[in-house]
């Protein structure tokens, strides 16, 4: 039975992965490691895991040799921690899926957008042993054999899934992305700007025009990337989880609304987790709550000649732990949907 280990098992991404693994038919959970919360019972951090159903388990301290006994280790830690742990785990002989931004860019772009040098440039996108960018629907074959998978960011997942099939038919210099996220996107750390009293009843933009996910979207929107093309504005909305992204771009000359629908359906009709809705049917964030799904719909504004696509994901599932498990399933040759076969909620 293949084994998965987690570092960052006390974080929002880590506890969400444990929730998904609870219904996985074949993966065995090995080490579940944390830093300041090592020794804490899982139930104290994740009340959805009752003490009698695994929640009494105490989190492990980080031990690279013990972690490396697993077939794959998922890192749900800050990028600077992943920069240290991923090379050590790979050297110890295991495979790694990293939820952080540490390996999603080339080393120079990482340094420019994250404000610090890349300390494992061989594993960055331009390196000799480069990580595979794990947007599964668009990288399945590379993920299958990758020692290291850089799991995409939450906003980039919500943006790239609708954008990638349309890049050949839009004017890429005019792509505008406006997106909203629930507060779990910032992780479990306590911050004054994320208190319920501040967030409740409020919506605010942040990070524009230099949010790190701008560089990630540009880098992965086309082979070789798009240079200085994307205007990206994220917003914080008073929800626990969920992302809604609206992508607007001028259509190339002669491209019709039917062409747009055809491209999206061709890309995703055979995919288990990406659902193209009929034109005019706009997706709800709650419809993918807890699910590894992306729902999207496109419409063409004939007046301005622009295509408008809205997409929704759960930032903790398709935007983090769910896509990581999807990648793990592919890496280990398991059914890609194992542990992930649930839909969202309504109402
Ligand atoms: N939240 C999202 O929606 C989301 C989406 C996509 C990607 N991500 C990325 O996924 C990663 C985890 O995010 P998160 O939201 O789960 O963060 P989080 O809730 O803040 O959790 C961070 C985790 O990292 C652990 N950690 C911190 N320093 C460590 C160290 N030196 N050694 C080992 N473990 C350490 C923490 O352990 P202790 O609690 O024991 O200190 C905790 O388990 C981040 O890189 C984030 O950018 C998050």
pLDDT at 52: 86
Looking at the fold, whether 296 and 229 belong to one and the same domain comes out as yes
In a domain, 146, yes or no: no
Shared-domain flag, residues 123 and 186: no
Atom 17 of ligand 1, residue of closest alpha carbon: 187
Q: Is the domain of 121 the same as that of 170?
A: no
- Whole-angstrom Cα distance, residue 39 to residue 27? 23
- Residues 304 and 160 placed together within one structural domain of the fold: yes
Extract the tokens encoding 187: 């992780």
Residues contacting residue 53 through CB under 8 Å, at least 6 positions apart: 22
The boundaries of the domain holding residue 49 are 3-130
Q: pLDDT digits over 155-208, tens only? A: 999 999 999 999 999 999 999 999 999 999 999 999 999 999 999 999 999 999
> Burial code of 217-252, b = ≥16 C-beta within 10 A, e = fewer?
bbbbbeeebbeebbebbbebbebebbbbbbbbbbbe
Whether 145 is covered by a domain: the verdict is no
Separation of 128 CA from ligand 1 center, angstroms?
Answer: 27
pLDDT digits (tens, 9 = 90+) for 228-238: 889 999 999 99
Separation between Cα atoms, residue 331 and residue 96, nearest integer Å: 10
Distance 92 CA to ligand 1 centre (A): 22
Does 222 sit behind a cis peptide bond, omega within 30 degrees of 0 on the bond before it?
A: no
Position 27 pLDDT exceeds 90: yes
Is 294 part of the annotated catalytic residue set? no
Q: Is position 230 within any domain?
A: yes
* 335: in domain: no
Measured distance CA(347)–CA(343) in Å, rounded: 13
Question: What CATH number has the domain bearing residue 233?
Answer: 3.30.360.10
Identify the band that residue 9 occupies on the pLDDT scale cut at 50, 70 and 90. very high
**Mean pLDDT over all residues of the chain?**
97
Any domain includes 65: yes
Q: Do 103 and 173 share a domain, yes or no? A: no
Whether residues 161 and 217 share a domain: the answer is: yes
Q: What is the CATH number of the domain that holds 109?
A: 3.40.50.720
Q: Looking at the 3D structure of the chain, how many domains does it have?
A: 2
In a domain, 210, yes or no: yes
Q: How far is the C-alpha of 338 from the C-alpha of 325, rounded, in Å?
A: 8
- Measuring CA to CA, which residue among 170, 59, 149 is closest to residue 99? 149
pLDDT band at residue 297, thresholds of 50, 70 and 90?
A: very high
**172 in the same domain as 95:** no
Alpha-carbon span 329 to 186, nearest angstrom: 26
| Residue 323 within a domain | no
Are 213 and 302 contained in the same domain? yes
| Residue bearing the CA closest to ligand 1, atom 1 | 185
In a domain, 144, yes or no: no
Q: Provide the CB-side half-sphere exposure for 4 (13 A, CA).
A: 28
How far apart (Å, rounded) are the C-alpha atoms in residues 56 and 9?
14
pLDDT of residue 227: 86
**pLDDT value at position 146?**
98
In tens, the pLDDT along 219-274 reads 999 988 998 889 999 999 999 999 999 999 999 999 999 999 999 999 999 999 99
C-alpha–C-alpha distance, residues 291 and 210, integer Å: 29
């Amino acid at each position: 039975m293949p084994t998965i280990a987690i570092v960052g098992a006390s974080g929002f991404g880590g506890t969400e992965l444990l929730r998904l693994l609870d219904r996985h038919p074949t993966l065995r959970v090995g080490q579940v490691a944390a830093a300041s919360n090592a020794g804490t019972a899982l139930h104290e951090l994740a009340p959805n895991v009752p003490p009698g159903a695994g929640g009494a388990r105490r989190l492990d301290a980080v031990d690279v040799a013990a972690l490396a006994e697993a077939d794959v280790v998922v890192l749900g830690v800050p990028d600077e921690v992943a920069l240290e742990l991923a090379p050590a785990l790979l050297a110890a002989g295991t495979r790694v899926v990293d939820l952080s931004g540490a390996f999603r860019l080339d080393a120079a772009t990482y340094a420019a957008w994250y404000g610090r040098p890349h300390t494992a440039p061989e594993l960055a996108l331009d390196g000799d042993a480069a990580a595979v960018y794990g947007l599964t629907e668009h990288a399945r074959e590379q993920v299958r054999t990758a020692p290291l998978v850089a799991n995409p960011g939450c906003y980039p997942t919500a943006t790239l899934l609708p954008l990638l099939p349309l890049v050949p038919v839009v004017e890429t210099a005019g792509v505008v992305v406006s997106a909203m996220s629930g507060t779990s996107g910032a992780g479990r750390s306590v911050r004054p700007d994320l208190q319920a009293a501040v967030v409740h009843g409020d919506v605010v933009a942040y990070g524009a025009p230099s949010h790190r996910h701008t560089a990630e979207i540009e880098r992965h929107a086309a082979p070789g990337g798009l240079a200085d093309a994307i205007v990206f504005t994220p917003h914080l909305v008073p929800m626990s989880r969920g992302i809604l992204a609206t992508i607007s771009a001028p259509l190339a000359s002669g491209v019709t609304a039917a062409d747009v629908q055809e491209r999206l359906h061709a890309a995703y009709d055979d995919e288990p987790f990406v659902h193209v809705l009929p034109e005019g049917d706009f997706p709800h964030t709650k419809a993918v709550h807890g699910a590894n799904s992306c729902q999207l719909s496109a419409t063409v504004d004939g007046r301005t000649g622009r295509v408008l696509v809205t997409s929704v994901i759960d930032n903790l599932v398709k935007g983090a732990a769910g896509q990581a498990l999807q990648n793990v399933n592919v890496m280990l040759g398991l059914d890609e949907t194992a542990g992930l076969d649930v839909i969202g909620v309504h109402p």
